[in-house]
Amino acid sequence: MGAVELARQRLSGAPLEALAVAAYRIPTDTPESDGTLEWSATTLVTAQVRAGGASGFGYTYASRAAAMVIADTLAPAIEGREALDTAARWLDMVRAVRNIGRPGIASMAIAAVDTALWDLKAKALGVPLVLLLGAFRDAIPVYGSGGFTSYLRERLSEQLGAWADEGMRSVKMKVGRAPQDDPARVRAARRAIGDCQLFVDANGAYTRKQALAEAAAFAELGVTWFEEPVSSDDLEGLRLLRDQGPAGMAIAAGEYGHDGYYFRRMLEAGAVDVLQADATRCAGVTGFMEAAALCAAYGVPLSSHCAPSLHLPLMCAARPAVHLEYFHDHVRIEQMLFDGFVPARSGQMAPDRSRPGLGIELKAKDAERFRC
Average pLDDT, the chain: 96
CA dist 111 and 305 (Å) reads: 14
CB 225 within 8 A of CB 197: yes
| Cα dihedral value 295, 297, 298, 302, nearest 10 | 10
Q: What is the DSSP letter of 133?
A: H
Mean pLDDT to the nearest integer, 15-27? 92
Category of 283 on φ-ψ map: left (φ > 0), alpha (ψ -120 to 50) or beta: left
As separate numbers, helices (DSSP H) first and strands (DSSP E) second, the chain gives: 15, 14
Angle, in degrees to the nearest 10, between helices 208-220 and 182-193: 30
Q: What percent of the chain is modeled with pLDDT above 70?
A: 96
CB 327 within 8 A of CB 310: no
Say if residue 11's pLDDT is above 70. Answer: no
CB 280 within 8 A of CB 59: yes
CB 129 within 8 A of CB 358: yes
Give domain limits for the chain: 3-126, 131-362
- Other CB atoms within 10 A of residue 250 CB: 18
Q: What's the confidence (pLDDT) of residue 326?
A: 98
- Other CB atoms within 10 A of residue 275 CB: 24
CA dist 133 and 127 (Å) reads: 10
Max CA distance (Å), the chain: 67
Task: Confirm whether pTM is higher than 0.75.
Answer: yes
Banded pLDDT at 9 (limits 50, 70, 90) = low
Domain 131-362: which CATH class? Answer: alpha beta
CA dist 273 and 41 (Å) reads: 31
Category of 359 on φ-ψ map: left (φ > 0), alpha (ψ -120 to 50) or beta: left
Query: 371 pairs with which residues across the strands?
Result: 24
Spell out the residues 6+ positions from residue 260 whose beta carbon is closer than 8 angstroms to its own.
282, 287, 290, 291, 294
Say if residue 8's pLDDT is above 80. Answer: no
Quick one: CATH architecture of 3-126?
Answer: 2-Layer Sandwich (3.30)
Closest residue by Cα to residue 262 from 232, 224, 219: 232
- Chain segment 70-127, per-residue pLDDT in tens: 999 999 999 999 988 999 999 999 999 999 999 999 999 999 999 999 999 999 999 9
Q: What is the DSSP letter of 343?
A: -
Say if residue 15's pLDDT is above 90. Answer: no
CA dist 128 and 316 (Å) reads: 12
Say if residue 291's pLDDT is above 90. Answer: yes
